[in-house]
Structure 1
């Protein structure tokens, strides 16, 4: 006989002695309870358990409603026992469908019942092991377990120990500000201010005063002195988001500050020393912006001493599901009913979709689905991703092209855009890689000159 380490919560008004004996023989500790209150008392907090709900023992409607709250416990694998024809009742059918791993119809052999509960318990243990093993490798408010994110976390640790400017590149919605906050919180400046400014969200004619501040009387409406964002960050970290959208006039003023280490408020004549660590970020292709004259090369090289590349969500594999579950746990209280998680078709759609809006889009879709879902599980339709449940059939040539493009994209991501290293990993020449980049429309990915690349 196995040691009695597994717990069974047996909810019934007429306990079956043969069933109980079979569970005892298999090493279960059986707690027989007759109502929801006793069931809650029997639940061991945080421990996986099996559950057997004997609906055939004729619980009244009120008691079944009370038991429903017990069935939502995340680490109990429930199996229902029903009388013939009992599941024609809509409420009972929904209860079994939404909360139970399996059901048996009375009369049923004790071994069949024990096998079903054992399977349900095993599935709960598997889910618990995956949750504990895959999760929350993270930094600050970011989580992830894929290699791209592990490299990002290692890079954060490295740059946090220096005071050099950091440039964060990546697509919109990947969480560049969270990376900046994580760097600040691991640095020696963590007790000082973290000041963020979105350079693309402030009208150009107001940006100078926002960055550098102004003196009273500097212009109409300047009734008192205002400290600029740069000066407000003194001693701490200044985060310049969407730096690629900074107007040329402000670029010149920012470059002067970086060179001289002091600011002059608009309408003022005194230089104020400011000590800040500058972190900047953008989704803009900076090399193209410099070639087109939209961004000063000398300012870029001042800002891009250390560079970090934020991985897109589509390159993070299993992290997509991990993030979706994290957001579900965070916002599920907004639902009008008790939700259990994501349906299999929703999980498939999460992985098939390309996520052009990255993590920001994932958060928005999950939050909307939580509010709009009408079932116990969030479906692909709730996420507005029903078209992505099944992958559209493709020709062999299309499949090869997609695989080739993905291999190139991931190799460049792993090697921080260094074409030589990526070509070596792919087993091709640098010239061939250039040709493939052109044929796949990926020529915008170029070698970043003048910046120190981070390797893990």
Structure 2
């Protein structure tokens, strides 16, 4: 029964023969049954990707039978409900908790068709081998079906089975921690801890103690022994994000650990053997950092045994619509119940936009749009996108294009946060040290921006988006 265009309809009520005929003319194959008990007799493997559940006045709205059936299956359900019933607070909460979308009667067949198509596509992706099976049992559920993402999934598989350090490269917001977690979940260490550390976010005077631990009395305030993050990751995988921010004096200790697989707690003399795989990432050019002397060359080569490059979102045009729908359903419990998806212009503009903030920016824009939208479908203005933001921009080189995008997203975040460094750094998912370095690199400061930007124009990052709501992560956020 499970073909892409099948629809299971539970209940009669609002779904009359006319609606069935209209759905059929639009290419759907509707199968209608009378009640939930009949639905429970259908083998789970035969259930379609999408379904309609008709709320009727005499129906047991909150019955455990309905909830169990919907929660246990992989079908994406749309509630069909009378507009008077949806005003009931209990029913609203039930619909928001259990269903991907809802439509009130009388049914607008075109809107219903659009919602069904959107849910079918995201359900198809979620169940396809090109997505979930590519990342196996990874909890992070990396989403993508474009050729460049298929290559990334293949690379993840290859490096996961080799127990060696991996260096992950990618712009801010592309999902470096998600990639690290996928590597861990595909490896033989999957049953052991996965710990992620942002090296730029730890206070300089505490980094060594946090990573390596300390003995009682090692320093003022060390009232008891502390086991460090490395020891706590025994048998598992340690992900060191923003490794370029690690102070030089601590790079020596990390190098010794990578070479000997032993550590010393601060204030201790004993060498402690630790079995931990290290993955590292940064958005800065470590080769240039080595040339400048701010990063040890021997540590760079020790970390860079295997390499994974994550593509920026602007190179994943085929994935943008699927990702937008994916995040839409992730935040379904926060949205106004009248919002059912994106209009066609929004989807088109999202594909044209360059996404300087990558996945993190897409998450922010979708979440904000869902909260602020006053219509059934999200429009470009809800996303803070207009044609002028999505026009092609030209740069003389790839490096210049990256600089334009990087400066744009840094400036946009600072502007939204009134140049509050701590708030902007938190929104961008980087340390204050890293943000100060980026501001210095791109000559961004409050005084110069008050006079207007000089030199090249940074198109593509809207400044008039002060209400962007930041979501630092889903379950495990992109870094």
Alignment TM class, shorter chain as reference: 0.5 to 0.7
Counterpart residue number, 2:108: 100
- Contact 2:55-2:79 within 8 A present in 1 as well: no
What SS does the aligned partner of 2:381 have? coil
**Number of residue pairs aligned between Structure 1 and Structure 2:** 349
Residues 265-321 of structure 1: per-residue CA shift (max 9 Å, x gap): 111111111111111111111111111111111000000100000111111112111
Distance 1:340 1:253, change over 3 A: same
Residues 208-236 of structure 1: per-residue CA shift (max 9 Å, x gap): 11111111111100000111111111211
Counterpart residue number, 2:377: 377
Counterpart residue number, 1:227: 227
Residue range with higher mean Cα deviation, 164-173 or 367-376: 367-376
Q: Distance in 2 between matches of 1:264 and 1:233?
A: 15
1:404 is displaced (CA, Å) by 9.4
What SS does the aligned partner of 2:288 have? helix
Q: Which has the larger radius of gyration?
A: 1
Q: Distance in 2 between matches of 1:159 and 1:335?
A: 39
Structure 1: tracts of 5 or more residues without a match: 54-58, 79-93, 104-119, 410-456
TM-score normalised to structure 2 length: 0.61
What SS does the aligned partner of 2:157 have? helix
Distance 1:205 1:62, change over 3 A: closer
Distance 1:29 1:205, change over 3 A: closer
Structure 2: tracts of 5 or more residues without a match: 1-5, 35-53, 61-65, 403-479
Distance 1:243 1:361, change over 3 A: same
Aligned match for 2:56, one of 37, 56, 66 = 37
Residue 350 (str. 1) matches residue 350 (str. 2): yes
Q: Distance in 1 between matches of 2:76 and 2:216?
A: 66
1:185 is displaced (CA, Å) by 1.3
Q: Distance in 1 between matches of 2:231 and 2:294?
A: 26
Q: What does 1:28-427 correspond to in 2, within 5 Å?
A: 37=56, 62=84, 100-101=108-109, 127=118, 130-135=121-126, 137-138=131-132, 139=135, 140=138, 141=140, 142-388=142-388, 391-392=390-391
Q: Distance in 1 between matches of 2:366 and 2:19?
A: 42
Q: Distance in 2 between matches of 1:243 and 1:38?
A: 59
Q: Distance in 1 between matches of 2:366 and 2:326?
A: 10
Q: Distance in 2 between matches of 1:134 and 1:38?
A: 35
TM-score normalised to structure 1 length: 0.64
The structure, 1 or 2, with the larger RCO (C-alpha pairs under 8 Å, 6+ apart) is 2
What SS does the aligned partner of 2:280 have? strand
- Contact 2:115-2:341 within 8 A present in 1 as well: no
Q: Distance in 2 between matches of 1:190 and 1:178?
A: 14
- Contact 1:353-1:388 within 8 A present in 2 as well: no
